[in-house]
Amino acid sequence: MPKKEKLEIEVEVPAKKIHVEHVFCHKGHQLCDPSKKIHGFPAIKLKMRYHGKDGVLFIDPVYGSFDNIEEGVRPPKGGVVELFCPVCGESLKAAGETCQLCSSPMFVCYLPKGGIIEGCSKKGCYYHKVKIVDAEKQVSRLFENDTLQSYL
Ligand SMILES: [Zn+2]
Ligand SMILES: [Zn+2]
């Protein structure tokens, strides 16, 4: 038996009530860019590749809102993009994860305190989810919005 039990839960996040503030690639690079704001909050800046062309995707940091900004490439609706950390170039593709709605690959970013956020890499598909991995089992407190915000 593992000493520390890990509890992984998927969280239902009420749309548009909270925003992510600290998002990282798996090497720990901060992806939120204070120089680019959407709805007044720093956007999540990712390198985007579509059909061999490179651009930048700024993701709306407000959960449940999708006013993303594209620069450089403009994939058509339904186009599946590849996403990378703009700092280290690491792929953000979630290994083995596919979208429950459209079966496209998912991308993954990391939140402080062990949470992850996954999203579909197909443009126009808004499937995404937040998972909080809490080794200390303080999860029951999560279901209050203000506590959840502290995980983002
Ligand atoms: Zn990185
Ligand atoms: Zn999808």
Query: Does the predicted TM-score (pTM) go above 0.75?
Result: yes
Asked if residue 56 lies in contact with residue 43, where contact means CB atoms within 8 angstroms, the answer is: no
Ligand closest in space to the Cα of 92: 1
What separation in Å is there between the alpha carbon of 102 and the centre of ligand 2?
4
What separation in Å is there between the alpha carbon of 25 and the centre of ligand 1?
5
Cα four-point dihedral sign 121, 9, 13, 150: negative
- On the question of pLDDT at 32 being above 80, the answer is yes
Mean pLDDT of the chain: 86
What separation in Å is there between the alpha carbon of 127 and the centre of ligand 2?
5
Ligand closest in space to the Cα of 23: 1
Ligand closest in space to the Cα of 101: 2
Q: How confident is the model at residue 126 (pLDDT cuts 50, 70, 90)?
A: confident
Structure tokens at 119: 């999203």
**What are the pLDDT digits (tens) for 82-124?**
999 999 999 999 999 999 999 999 999 998 877 888 999 999 9
**What are the pLDDT digits (tens) for 42-66?**
999 999 999 999 999 999 999 888 9
Q: How confident is the model at residue 4 (pLDDT cuts 50, 70, 90)?
A: low
Residues 6+ apart with CB under 8 A from 2: none
- On the question of pLDDT at 3 being above 60, the answer is no
DSSP code at position 31: -
Q: How confident is the model at residue 128 (pLDDT cuts 50, 70, 90)?
A: confident
Cα–Cα distance between 104 and 60 in angstroms, integer?
Answer: 20
For 57, phi then psi, to 5°, come to: -115, 120
